[in-house]
Amino acid sequence: MPDLGRPYPWLEPARARLAAYLASGRLPQGLLISGAAGVGKAALADEFARRLLCGAPEPDRACGVCSACRLAEAGNHPDYLRVEPEEAGKRITVDTVRKLIEKLSLKPQYGASRVVLIRPAHAMNAAAANSLLKTLEEPDPQTLFILVSEQPAQLPATVLSRCQRLEIGLPERGEALRWLAGRGIGGHAEALLAMASGAPLRAAALQDGDLARRRNKVFEDWVAVFRGCADPLTVAEQWAKEDGDAVTGWLQSWLMDLIRIGSSDTTPGGRLANADLAGGLRHLAEGLDLRGLFGRLDEIAAARRSLEGQANRQLIMEDILINWSRSRSAGAQP
């Protein structure tokens, strides 16, 4: 039964599986929690780690009030070992893993259990992963390794084979929208969810950056240029002030949706990455032909590469928009 008292209700099936491991006394030595960014993997890992370390747990959760729970809450539990890159986006080095292994050679300091949380696990370089593997191959019943990763395919097969995999799927769209609404995110929730590829936590994070409003404005401009209602050069000047990576990413995603509509492999309202813009996209698709769209996609890919360098942003946006404004007349001709 879903527990409304716990965050991220779509994690309930995964919670049930973790509880079943505990109930049967068959907790694996290594657990790999995988799934898209922004579905709550880290939160689930942390919740489970605290349950294991808690001195007076309920069957499926930590008590939250015992001294072990308070230490974990403060980030000071000596048997809760977090392994992360020294800087976000960097690799986890072999030195970091060696320091961890040194600590593991001692007995747990506080209780009977110890948890090692490695996140993101795919950030381990080859030497680090190898070093960890030796530890995983010599099971210590007191220690659970929890690996969290969006890209488990980047982990060595030898490490993967030592871990029980727990894959967290995206919640149903309706459930994700309800959750966003519960956080007071109403107006642009559908747009945010589309931009976050369906991952609710990522959608909530995007909300803070006002991205949904900006993305919808860029979409309006894009439609207006296509219809001949806005001047490509004027719009390019505005887009040049935007985050170029975001703008070209949105354009790619909309073009892909137009191709999906054009190849009519979608049910109404379904399967589009930008379901919130389905009406506008379908309207656009009527005046377009598929071949033209693949050309536009190639241009955007080239533009993204140019934007990484010192290229003139406004000129790049002008090229994109001028070609786009011509798609209409090209599409209208038989």
**Nearest-approach distance from CB 79 to Zn ion, in angstroms:** 13
Place of tokens 């729970």: 69
**Nearest-approach distance from CB 159 to Zn ion, in angstroms:** 31
**Nearest-approach distance from CB 168 to Zn ion, in angstroms:** 24
**Nearest-approach distance from CB 108 to Zn ion, in angstroms:** 16
- Cα angle: 134, vertex 137, 143; to 5 degrees: 95
Task: Give the separation between CA 318 and CA 334, rounded to whole angstroms.
Answer: 27
User: Is 69 or 118 the residue whose CB approaches Zn ion more closely?
Assistant: 69
User: Which residues contact Zn ion by CB under 5 A?
Assistant: 54, 62-63, 66, 69
80 sits in which H/E element: strand 80-83
User: Is 5 or 268 the residue whose CB approaches Zn ion more closely?
Assistant: 5
Residue 187 and residue 177 in contact, taking contact as beta carbons nearer than 8 Å: no
**Nearest-approach distance from CB 3 to Zn ion, in angstroms:** 17
User: Is 79 or 257 the residue whose CB approaches Zn ion more closely?
Assistant: 79
User: Is 66 or 223 the residue whose CB approaches Zn ion more closely?
Assistant: 66
User: Is 52 or 281 the residue whose CB approaches Zn ion more closely?
Assistant: 52
In sequence order, what DSSP letters do the residues of 86-138 get, joined into one string?
SSTTSPBPHHHHHHHHHHHTSPPSSSS-EEEEETTGGGB-HHHHHHHHHHHHS
Please give the structure tokens belonging to residue 257.
């949706």
